[in-house]
């Protein structure tokens, strides 16, 4: 691809690299862009990345594995969109995603990205695991397959396969059962939602997955979907309509907040808990849902709640977005965003770091361990706190 074929050819030069995009809402540090926080070289800032992309597309700079790593280190957290003061701010992250698309089209992508995309394409999940293993998380729960119930509980790849995230899937399912919610699951029929593949620039695969999912949902008569992951929530809600898929989408935090409000589930008392909440990007900045998970946490009798310094629109991403929970471009350093976040939870004197996303759950749990904080801080999905 050259610059003239690039969707944002008339826009990408407008980035001045003024650096607002590095900050959180309250300006407390220049480390709110996850890759910049991790590497602290200008090439890894949003502005640096946009200038590099432009230079690549207009032939000023040749493609290199390092360039691809820099572009793919963007986790799509949308902090830059939030902070860029210019009128094109909405498209800042899109400009990066479009560059990833250009790399996909030319087959010039990092190896880990290639693996991820191939696995999703061949196996319907990034781990390359067998479809039947998707049911592992359900063992002993006595869940019904979806057959016309009110809700489809879409678990997603992480909740299905990742042993840690399975805990959140199980807890959510138990709560729905307790509350008498009419729901079913897809089990081994479930495939990837496509959010990450889009964030990694693989448009065609997103379209393929979306069409397959829409066909399956429609044939099963699905109207309402509860997602475990904000990533699924995002793509179902905002992208599937483009492919003709109109469903009512709920994130599990919204459902749980509602069930608590109606008294259909009850939060157990946790007198010693001091909870902080890490906003998932695809629930927060992408979909502006900041209150539902906080309502859930506020319903826990006896628990104290403390915000981390960076929260809501200004939250620092865990670094797991856009497939980075798998590709791990930001790992391996004390400046890895998840480790910074673990330390921030400690600074907030929290003993529970609550999350509402299976990606954040695994990223932050690992980070807490590496930071040696596992005796002080437990990382828990909000559903797990309610079933404690």
Partner 1 sequence: MSSIHQELVNIVGEDYASNRREELFTYSKDLGTSQPLWPEYVVAPKTTDELQAVVRLANETKTPIVPLGGGMTLAGLALPQQGGVIIDLKRMDKILEVNEQGRYMVVEAGISHGKITSYLKKNHPNLMHSEPGAPPAATVGGNLAIHGQGDLAHPYGFNTDMVNGLEVVLPTGDIARFGSCAVGSGWYTMHPLPDIGLFLGWNGATGIITKVSLKLYPCKKFRENNMFVVENEEFVPDVLFEISHLGMAEDLIATSSEIPPMMNRLHYISIINTGDSEEELEFKRHMTFDVQLAKYIRNGVGGIVSLYDERSRPQVSKSADWKKGGGFEYVGAIVPVSFYPECYRRGSEISGRHFIPYTVLGRVIGSCHSMMFSWSYAFNRADDATVKHARDALHETDELVMELNGTIWKPAIFGQKLMLERMDPGALRLMKEVKKILDPNGIMNPGNWEVD
Q: Per rule CB under 8 A, is residue 177 in the interface with partner 1? A: no
**Pick 43 or 258: Cβ nearer partner 1:** 43
Residue 333 Cβ vs partner 1, minimum distance, rounded to whole Å: 6
**Contact pattern from residue 315 through residue 344 relative to partner 1, giving x for each residue in contact according to CB under 8 A and a dash for the rest:** ------------------x-----------
* DSSP one-letter string for 143-212: PPBPSS-SEEEE-HHHHHH-TTHHHHHHHHHHHHHHTT--EEB-GGG----SHHHHHTT-HHHHHHHHHH
Which lies closer to partner 1 via its Cβ, residue 39 or residue 236? 39
DSSP secondary structure, 220-279, as one string:
HT--EEEESSHHHHHIIIIIGGGGT---EEEEHHHHHHHHHHTTSS-PPP-TT-EEEE--
Q: Which is nearer to partner 1, 85 or 263 (CB)?
A: 85
Does 118 interact with partner 1 (rule: CB under 8 A)?
no
Residue 72 Cβ, how far from partner 1 at the closest point, in Å? 13
- Nearest CA to 106 out of 44, 63, 58 is that of 63
Do 371 and 242 meet the contact criterion of CB atoms below 8 Å apart?
A: no
Among residues 86 and 266, whose Cβ is nearest to partner 1?
A: 86
Q: Which helix (H) or strand (E) element contains residue 355?
A: strand 352-355
Residue (64 or 182) nearer to partner 1, CB: 64
Between 189 and 208, how does the x/- string for binding to partner 1 read (CB under 8 A)? --------------------
Cβ atoms of 193 and 213 closer than 8 Å = yes
Alpha-carbon span 33 to 46, nearest angstrom: 7
The answer to whether 90 contacts partner 1 (rule: CB under 8 A) is no
Degrees to nearest 5, angle at CA 323 with 320 and 329: 70
Give the DSSP letter string of 66-83: HHHHHHHT-----HHHHH
Q: What is the DSSP string of 113-142?
A: HHHHHHHHHHHSSTT---GGGGGGGGTTS-
130 touches partner 1 (CB under 8 A) = no
């930071």: which residue's tokens?
Answer: 371
Kindly state whether residue 141 participates in binding partner 1, applying the rule CB under 8 A: no
Interaction residues for partner 1, span 55-84 (CB under 8 A): 55, 60-62, 64, 66-67, 70
Q: In the complex, what is the shortest distance from the CB of residue 128 to partner 1, in angstroms, rounded to a whole number?
A: 29
Interaction of residue 349 with partner 1, rule CB under 8 A: no
State the Cα–Cα distance between residues 301 and 304, nearest whole angstrom: 9
347 binds partner 1 (CB under 8 A): no
Contact between 313 and partner 1 per CB under 8 A? no
Output 70 or 356, the one with its CB closest to partner 1: 70
Q: How far is the CB of 5 from partner 1 (least distance, A)?
A: 15
- Tell me the closest approach of the beta carbon of residue 110 to partner 1, in angstroms: 14
Q: For partner 1, what does the binding mask look like between residues 23 and 42, x meaning CB under 8 A?
A: x--xxxxx-------xxxxx
The 10 Å Cβ neighbour count of residue 19 is 16
* Dist CA 256 CA 259 (whole Å): 5
Classify residue 375 as exposed, middle or buried by CB count within 10 Å of its CB (0-12, 13-18, 19+). Answer: exposed
3-state SS, residue 381: strand
Q: Using CB under 8 A, which of 2, 5, 17, 242 touches partner 1?
A: 17
Shortest distance (Å) from residue 271 CB to partner 1 = 30
- Give min distance, CB of 345 to partner 1, in A: 18
Residues that bind partner 1 (CB under 8 A): 13-20, 22-23, 26-30, 38-43, 48, 51-52, 55, 60-62, 64, 66-67, 70, 85-88, 333
């Amino acid at each position: 691809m050259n610059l003239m074929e690039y969707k944002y050819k008339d826009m990408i030069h407008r980035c001045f690299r003024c650096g607002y995009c590095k900050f959180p809402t309250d300006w407390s540090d220049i480390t709110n862009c996850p890759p910049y926080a991790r590497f602290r070289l200008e090439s890894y800032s949003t502005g640096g990345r946009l200038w590099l992309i432009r230079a690549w597309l207009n032939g000023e700079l040749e493609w290199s594995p390092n360039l691809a790593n820099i572009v793919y280190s963007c986790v799509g957290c949308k902090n830059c969109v939030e902070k860029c003061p210019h009128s094109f701010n909405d498209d800042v992250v899109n400009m990066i995603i479009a560059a990833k698309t250009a790399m996909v089209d030319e087959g010039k992508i990092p190896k880990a990205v290639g693996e991820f995309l191939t696995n999703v394409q061949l196996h319907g999940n990034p781990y390359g695991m067998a479809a039947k293993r998707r049911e592992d998380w359900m063992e002993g729960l006595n869940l019904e397959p979806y057959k016309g119930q009110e809700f489809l509980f879409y678990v997603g790849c992480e909740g299905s396969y990742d042993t840690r995230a399975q805990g959140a899937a199980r807890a959510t399912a138990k709560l729905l059962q307790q509350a008498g919610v009419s729901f079913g699951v897809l089990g081994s029929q479930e495939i990837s939602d496509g959010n990450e593949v889009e964030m990694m620039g693989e448009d065609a695969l997103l379209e393929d997955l979306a069409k397959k999912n829409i066909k399956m949902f429609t044939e099963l008569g699905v109207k309402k979907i509860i997602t475990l992951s904000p990533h699924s929530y995002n793509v179902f809600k905002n992208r599937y309509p483009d492919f003709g898929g109109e469903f009512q989408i709920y994130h599990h935090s919204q459902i749980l907040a509602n069930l608590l409000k109606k008294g259909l589930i009850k939060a157990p008392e946790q007198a010693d808990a001091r909870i902080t909440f890490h906003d998932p990007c695809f629930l927060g900045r992408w979909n502006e849902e900041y209150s539902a998970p906080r309502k859930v946490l506020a319903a826990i009798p006896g628990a104290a709640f403390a915000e981390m310094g960076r929260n809501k629109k200004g939250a620092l991403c865990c670094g797991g977005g856009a497939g980075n929970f798998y590709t791990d471009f930001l790992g391996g350093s004390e400046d890895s965003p998840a480790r910074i976040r673990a330390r921030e939870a400690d600074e907030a004197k929290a003993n529970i770091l609550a999350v509402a996303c299976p990606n954040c759950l695994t990223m932050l749990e690992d980070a807490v361990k590496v930071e040696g904080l596992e005796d002080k801080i437990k990382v828990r999905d909000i559903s797990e706190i309610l079933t404690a």
